Amino acid sequence: MQHRLTSLFHPKGIAVVGASDRHGSFGRKVFSQLWADHAAPTIVPVNPSHKMVGGQKAYESLTEAQQEHRLDTAVVILSPDKLAGIVREAGKTAIRQVIFVSEIDAPNHAVRQKLERAAALARKADIQLLAMPAGGLRGVFAVPQKAACTYIGQSSDIADCMTHYAQERGIEFSRFITLHPQDYPVSTGQIIDFVAAEDTTTSLLVHVSVLDNVRELVSALAYAARYKPVIVLTTLPDAAQEALFTQALERVHVLSVHTLTQFSTAAKLVHTGITSRGNRLHIISNSPQISALSCRVLDNTPLVLGGRSAGCLRQLGKLLPYKPERHNPLDVPIDTSPSVFQSLVESSLHDEESDAVLVIYAGQHSNDCLQTAQLISQLQAKSGKPLLLTWLGSADTDSVRDQFNRQKNLHFKQPEHAVQALAQLDIYRNRQQNRYALQPFHDYRYAVAAAEELQKSLRPMIPVAVLSAGKSHITHLLNTLRLHNLTAEAQKQPALLHLQSERDPVFGQLIHLYNESGRQTLLPPLLPTEAQRALQALGLDAGIWLDCLLDTAETVCRLPEVHSLTLALTVSGKGIACTEAKLHLQDTPYPPAPNVFAPPPALPTEQFTLANGQIVRLRPVRPEDASLLQTLYQGMDDHSRYLRFMIASPELPPSLIARLSHPDYQREFALLLHDDQHRPLAHAHYSTDANGQSGEFGIGITPSLQGQGVGGFLMQQLLQHAQKQGLQQMRAEILAENHPMQRLALKLGFTLSKHPEDPQLLEARLDLNNHS
């Protein structure tokens, strides 16, 4: 199935509204560019003031142009006040994509209002509307010619800097897209989803200055980062937004940078495809002073100077005419021959005590700089370790740089930049390793029940405006949260922690924790490890506070009626106690901003009785269920595990367990069946394909429950949720020997066919539009 943005990136016909023949006009520039780039099979000008543009007939309106040509996209080069009218007219034709071309990065309030009006009309007409500068059109319409990094940015200035940086260093991009985001139907996240799924995209560089849909954006970045390197530069106008967005990226293990130098360096790193092996660095230099300066930079990075193995030391003894004072940094004479320099570098690359090698070459007194560069630059292709090269002063010639560019070497103008680049690689490596870290288990059953109980009592109070809850409701709230109520005592104990829940217009619900030691803000749903770190940062014992914090936050976040809540908490002989509470309720006419991370969806019924009389619970999977999923699949026999995952292994790898236990409910759905003792019995999930229109499912059932209808029951739950989520198709790849799953699929209405690429597999597909 096609992605919903396929027609945007591959249009059949483009109407250029505002195209002009006037010399030097913006309309002429854009129309000429589209025509020269062959952006679509058909490109026609629309301008009532011109009869001809570029030698072609110009049409008075989109409607007239549509009558003679097959058009699906409009590129609008008019003032913002005319955009709404163009969108309204496009809605009456077959045009489904509208691109507003503007060179204004940050429109003023009056212009934003006009653009918002056009966006609202586009949503009603089901038109894909977005805005970008003229330079961004080529990145959208041009067909990628080779696999490379894709750039997606939100600033023309930063895009210009990145373009020139890349040209100087021979860095190529698969696509180079600049957007002017706002609350348009086509968000930055949707663009990322589309380009990340392209085979020609090997990595992503993303610049974010506007959060046009933070949930879609974070979800798209997280999904792309599962399969490809993703680096994000943030330049948000508000420091609080910057901190929250950075926290969200850290949670989904996406590397963020905060300077243009770091972003440019990231472009170089992904261009070479070199990855980090560790944090131990060898430095080889013919300038002791410069190598000493480079070592100073290491103190502010996770990097360390590595030792040298006995074999490497013996090799150095053969190559050098003297015994050096130190072996790392290894300072060699200025007149060291190119071949000896090459051998020294090669020795470090082969040394098991090093993870990367930095070469510093100062050429003030050397005529061998080019030959040395040629010999050393060839070593990168023979080694998987990062080789960082800095040719300084008169050694840094055009010929040397050309040599490094041809070999795709990591070369830098200053050794400090090389060290910082290696530090970035190491941070990225750690983020990828942390991706597989598993969350400890936490039982949220009481929090779920508490939320249901509170909703019954709070719902009747809801006004249109914000209302402060009375004492009786505060008392009921604290009792339900299992907090000892000290609010009525005359001599109140000092609070050790303040917990505040509030709704942010961009990030949705936020949980603030603060005391005399500082302030921490967390994005729900809370993760136990993040909550534990926050408590430790505030000087609190996680063993005392963690369960209370997780349950309280979970309960409050399940109550959309709570506009804000502030609790002053302390520790009493009965546990966690509340000395002061403020609760404000509100039922707004418009839905609040969604949370950054989609919460686990609420199920209509949680407890079920199986055919064998066993009482079980069904609920969405949470990150804290990693150990339960491990137990479930370890309890299967090898054959059952092979039928489910098509891997022959006694246990699932941590990377797979981490993936299964961290569903992104923006694009996935996962269920866990367990008994009252939390013994896992079954697991079912689906994840949407890159097109966003279909999902792939999988089911795992403990051997004792197989053949009792559990698989069919779970599949019905998956299919119902997929239909609510708007998916059009459900599919799976089933082993030809997995006859029970084939029978279940056929019973549910799936069609089975041979897999086009693997004779051992069958494809199962179900049209959700016709499924009831």
Compare 552 and 643 and report the one with higher pLDDT.
Answer: 552
Mean pLDDT along residues 221-247 = 94
| Nearest alpha carbon to residue 442 among 257, 212, 600, 210 | 600
Instruction: Categorize the per-residue pLDDT at 469 as very low, low, confident or very high, splitting at 50, 70 and 90.
Output: low
Give me the pLDDT at residue 772, please: 73
Residue 142 has a pLDDT of 92
Q: How far apart are CA 668 and CA 121, in angstroms?
A: 30
Tokens of 532: 């534990």
Contact 372, 361 (CB under 8 A): yes
- CA atoms in the 13 A half-sphere facing the CB of 651: 9
Residues of the chain above pLDDT 90, percent: 68
Q: Which of 628, 685, 686, 682 is nearest to 652 (CA)?
A: 628
Cα-to-chain-centroid distance, residue 118: 28
Q: How far apart are CA 309 and CA 528, in angstroms?
A: 41
Q: Tell me the C-alpha distance between 11 and 199, whole Å.
A: 19
pLDDT at residue 587, rounded to an integer: 72
| 694 pLDDT above the threshold of 80 | yes
- Region of 526 (left: φ > 0; alpha: ψ -120 to 50; beta: rest) is beta
If pLDDT is split at 50, 70 and 90, which confidence band does 433 have?
confident
Pairing of strands 280-285, 201-208: unpaired
Q: What is the pTM of this model?
A: 0.91
Angle between helices 156-169 and 134-141 (to 10 degrees): 60
Q: Which has the minimum average pLDDT: 80-84, 153-157, 510-514, 603-607?
A: 603-607
Q: Is the pLDDT of residue 630 over 70?
A: yes
CB neighbour list of residue 401: distance below 8 Å, 6 or more residues apart: 169, 411
Cα 697 to Cα 768: distance, rounded to the nearest angstrom: 13
Handedness of CA 531, 532, 536, 540 (dihedral sign): positive
- What is the rounded CA–CA span in Å between residue 665 and residue 465? 31
pLDDT at 717: 93
Q: What is the 3-state secondary structure (H, E, C) of 380-428?
A: HHHCCCCEEEEEEHHHCCHHHHHHHHHCCCEECCCHHHHHHHHHHHHHH
Are 116 and 83 contacting, i.e. CB atoms less than 8 angstroms apart?
Answer: no
- How far apart (Å, rounded) are the C-alpha atoms in residues 744 and 77? 55
CA dist., res. 495 & res. 476, Å (int):
20
Sign, CA dihedral 631-635-637-640, equals negative
Q: In this structure, what are the phi and psi dihedrals at residue 421, rounded to the nearest 5 degrees? A: -65, -45
Q: Are strands 330-331 and 280-285 parallel, antiparallel or unpaired?
A: parallel
pLDDT digits (tens, 9 = 90+) for 707-737: 888 999 999 999 999 999 999 999 999 999 9
| 8 Å CB contact between 3 and 692 | yes
- List, in order, residues 6 or more apart from 105 with CB less than 8 Å away: 154, 155, 156, 157, 180
Q: Does the pLDDT at position 91 exceed 70? A: yes
Over residues 37-71, the pLDDT tens digits come to: 999 999 999 999 988 988 899 999 999 999 999 99
Q: What is the mean pLDDT of the chain?
A: 90
What is the widest separation between alpha-carbon atoms in the chain?
A: 89
In the predicted structure, residue 324 carries a pLDDT above the cut 60: yes
SS percent in the chain: helix, strand, coil, step 5? 40, 25, 35
Reported as type and span, the H/E element at residue 571 is strand 562-572
| 591 token code pair | 């839905």
pLDDT band at residue 462 using 50, 70 and 90 as cut-offs: low
Over the stretch 525-541, which tens digit does the pLDDT of each residue have?
A: 999 999 999 999 999 99
What does residue 462 show for φ and ψ, rounded to 5 degrees? -60, 125
**Residue 590: which pLDDT band, with cuts at 50, 70 and 90?**
low
Q: How far does CA 13 lie from the centroid of its chain?
A: 32
What per-residue confidence (pLDDT) applies to 588?
62
Structure tokens at 669: 């759905």
Give residue 364's pLDDT band: very low, low, confident or very high (50, 70, 90): low
Helix (H) or strand (E) holding 89: helix 83-90
Q: Of 10-24, 207-221, 284-298, 483-497, which range is least confident?
A: 483-497
> Which domains are delineated in the chain?
1-131 (3.40.50.720), 144-273 (3.40.50.261), 278-434 (3.40.50.261), 463-585 (3.30.470.20), 607-770 (3.40.630.30)
Quick one: DSSP state of residue 59?
Answer: B
State how far the Cα of 9 lies from the Cα of 137, in Å rounded to an integer: 10
